[in-house]
Amino acid sequence: MATLTIDRVSRWFGNVVAVNDVTMTIRPGITGLLGPNGAGKSTLIAMLSGFLPPSTGAVTLDETPIWGNSDIYRSIGLVPEREATFEYLTGWEFVLANAQLHGLADPGGATRRALAAVDMEAPAQRRVGEYSKGMRQRVKMASALVHDPSVLLLDEPFNGMDPRQRMQLMRLLRTMGDDGRTVLFSSHILEEVEQLAQHIEVIVAGRHAASGDYREIRRLMTDRPHQYRIRSSDDRGLAAALIADGSVAGVALDGTDGGLNIETTEFLRFAGLLPRVARDAEISLYEVSPADESLESVFSYLIRR
Amino acid sequence: MNTTVVRLTARSMLGGRRVLLLAALALLIVVLAVLLRVFADIDQGEAAALLRAVSLGTLLPLFGLIVGTGAIGPEIDDGSIVYLLAKPMSRATIIHSKLVVAVAAMFTFAVVPTVLAALIMVGGSGSLAVALGAGAFAAGAVYSAVFLLLATILRQAVMLGLVYALVWESLVGSVVPGARVLSVQQWALSVAESIAAPGLLSADVALGVAVVLLVGAFAAATWYAGWRLARFTLTGPE
């Protein structure tokens, strides 16, 4: 059983703090590392894979420090985000070279098994440089699996994949998790993470924002106050009618541009309320737009909590 | 040394167009020697001066730059170095393996052509070919190690290496006499001078000093490259 531990870890580059006092434990099974771009996911994965020392705190695998310890790679398989591999090698040669670099007793057999696991036996004789994005991702997976590691780290593995490739990779990762491996993958897309990960760690602006089961995270994200911008034929009348309902937490008249800014705590009830209230008061709605639907705002809500 | 790293490095360094460039430059110096032998009547002294300028002065630093940085630079640039580093293997081993390939390439494409050119121009009688061969090998090995180190620690290794090869070795060395003590070319010349017939070549650095500096520079560059690679970091500030 392999457990990754990040204990009060910060990492800064000059004046920029990339990871800010993060503590988390990653256990066997699939964990999704969720956060917007630039949140510090790659920095965390770099520290977990021994390619960056933490500025403070400790990053360990089963209590062994990861930085500066090349023996740790017997237990870790890494799938980097960058696509570059050894383009001039065939898929078979690439995975075989990885097996040999690990000093495995039977590199040929290990290569065959790894390529079979990612369903890449047929194109293995073609050069990696000719592979599609999905095939590349799978051959990278094979190279990370070739030594049968207990930990698998994947940095944005779904980036640029089409839906079919995505499904295929998800199936593969599920198998890895079911085998009792500790699988950690990063993503900035909530849907990806909740489809795959039993456990989610959310990181925003370098800080650990939330941690837990995907249902919990989902609830946190949908039950937060939603903000809408509304323009209508009678903003003041609409404001008066809306504030009477319990689902509306706040109404503000926009003095400069006109229009209303509404905050609601119950998204579904408000969705039914607004058209009904407008019809009853004979007010025409010109514009209804969510003011904060971007992923960033969802994340920053989580951080403020 | 790790044979897989050696094999991968040799394939990436010599698999592409780089090998053609190296072979063309190597061929050029041999062809030059043949032409001079056939059309001009040159004596040993002139041949020594020519090879000193062309081979030791230009070809070797340039080749050292190509093979030294080429052994690791592209892999660091495109990130594929990660596949070598994320392995239970000492990072020094990776550097040693890459250095073996770089020095072997230097030997094939710079030392051998230099020896051949010397033989063509002055015949097999003199010791000039052996002297230049030894000097070229010493310089080649040090250049490989230094430029491999440079590519390991700097993204702009090629630019910097070019400045060093052209400005320091050629210009500063010829204008500021004191700088010659810190010139790989002078150390190599000193080795060649000690082997060649008296008066053929002259160096500004005594043999003992030169040998110590050559070995010291090679060992220090190799060790430091391994040390730095062991502290290789993947992400910086974006």
Which tens digits make up the pLDDT trace of A172-211?
899 999 999 999 999 988 778 888 988 999 998 899 988 8
- Whether A304 has its CB under 8 Å from any CB of chain B: the answer is no
* Sole residue written with tokens 């020896």: B115
User: How does strand A151-154 pair with strand A76-79?
Assistant: parallel
- Whether A141 has its CB under 8 Å from any CB of chain B: the answer is no
DSSP states along A139-158: HHHHHHHTT--SEEEESSTT
Assembly ipTM: 0.87
R_g of chain B, CA atoms, integer Å: 18
Report the distance separating Cα A277 and Cα A270, nearest Å. Answer: 10
For chain A, give every domain's residue range.
Answer: 4-221, 225-304
By percentage, how much of chain B surpasses pLDDT 70?
95
Domains A4-221 and A225-304 share a fold: no
3-state secondary structure (DSSP) of residue A116? helix
pLDDT surpassing 90 at residue A54: yes
Q: What is the mean pLDDT of residues B73-81?
A: 90
| CA closest to A103 among chain B residues | B88
Residue A152: both structure tokens together: 């698998």
Per-residue model confidence (pLDDT) at position A4? 95
Report the distance separating Cα A45 and Cα A37, nearest Å. Answer: 14
Interface of B with A (CB under 8 A): 2-5, 7-8, 11-12, 15-16, 78-80, 82-91, 230-238
Question: A12: pLDDT confidence band, cut at 50, 70 and 90?
Answer: very high
Per-residue model confidence (pLDDT) at position B86? 95
Report the distance separating Cα A206 and Cα A134, nearest Å. Answer: 30
Q: What is the mean pLDDT of residues A278-304?
A: 75
Annotation: CATH topology of A4-221 = Rossmann fold (3.40.50)
Count of other CB atoms within 10 angstroms of residue B53: 12
H or E element at residue A9: strand A4-13
pLDDT surpassing 60 at residue A272: yes
Q: Is A52 in contact with B235 (Cβ distance < 8 A)?
A: yes
Per-residue model confidence (pLDDT) at position B237? 45
Q: Is B88 in contact with A73 (Cβ distance < 8 A)?
A: yes
R_g of chain A, CA atoms, integer Å: 24
Count of other CB atoms within 10 angstroms of residue A133: 13
By percentage, how much of chain A surpasses pLDDT 70?
93
Per-residue model confidence (pLDDT) at position B42? 80
DSSP states along chain B: --HHHHHHHHHHHHHSTHHHHHHHHHHHHHHHHHHHHHHS---HHHHHHHHIIIIIIIIHHHHHHHHHHHTTHHHHHHSTTHHHHSSSS-HHHHHHHHHHHHHHHHIIIIIHHHHHHHHHHH-SSSSHHHHHHHHHHHHHHHHHHHHHHHHHH-TTHHHHHHHIIIIIIIIIHHH-GGGGGG-HHHHHHHHHHHHSPTTS---SS-HHHHHHHHHHHHHHHHHHHHHHHTT--S----
Q: What is the mean pLDDT of residues A101-130?
A: 92
**DSSP letter (8 states) at residue A125:** G
Q: Contacts of residue A97 in chain B, CB cutoff 8 Å?
A: 4, 7-8, 83
| CA closest to B83 among chain A residues | A98
Report whether B83 contacts B168 (CB < 8 A). no
Ramachandran angles phi, psi of A234, nearest 5°: -145, 85
pLDDT surpassing 90 at residue B203: no
Q: What is the mean pLDDT of residues B30-57?
A: 86
Report the distance separating Cα A238 and Cα A78, nearest Å. Answer: 56
| CA closest to B10 among chain A residues | A88
**CATH classification number, A225-304, choose in 3.40.50.150, 3.30.230.10, 3.40.50.2000, 3.30.70.100:** 3.30.70.100
Report whether A203 contacts A33 (CB < 8 A). yes
Q: Contacts of residue A51 in chain B, CB cutoff 8 Å?
A: 82, 85-86, 232-235
Half-sphere exposure of A236 (CA within 13 A, CB side): 1
Q: Is B15 in contact with A52 (Cβ distance < 8 A)?
A: no
Q: How far is CA A237 from CA A229, A263, A274, in A?
A: 15, 17, 13
pLDDT surpassing 80 at residue A217: no
pLDDT surpassing 90 at residue B103: yes
pLDDT surpassing 60 at residue B236: no
Q: Contacts of residue A85 in chain B, CB cutoff 8 Å?
A: 80, 83
| CA closest to A38 among chain B residues | B238
- Nearest-neighbour CA in chain A from B112: distance (Å): 28
Q: What is the mean pLDDT of chain A?
A: 88
pLDDT surpassing 90 at residue A3: yes
Tell me the residue type at A220: L
Query: Chain B interface, mutation test: which of A51, A74, A85, most B Cβ atoms within 10 Å?
Result: A51
Q: What is the mean pLDDT of residues B162-179?
A: 74
Per-residue model confidence (pLDDT) at position A201? 92
Angle at B89 between CA B151 and CA A123, to 5 degrees: 85
Per-residue model confidence (pLDDT) at position A166? 86
Count of other CB atoms within 10 angstroms of residue A178: 11
Q: What is the mean pLDDT of residues A83-99?
A: 91
Alpha helices (H) in A68-208, listed in sequence order: 91-101, 107-117, 133-145, 163-178, 190-196
Ramachandran angles phi, psi of B85, nearest 5°: -75, -30
Report whether A162 contacts A87 (CB < 8 A). no
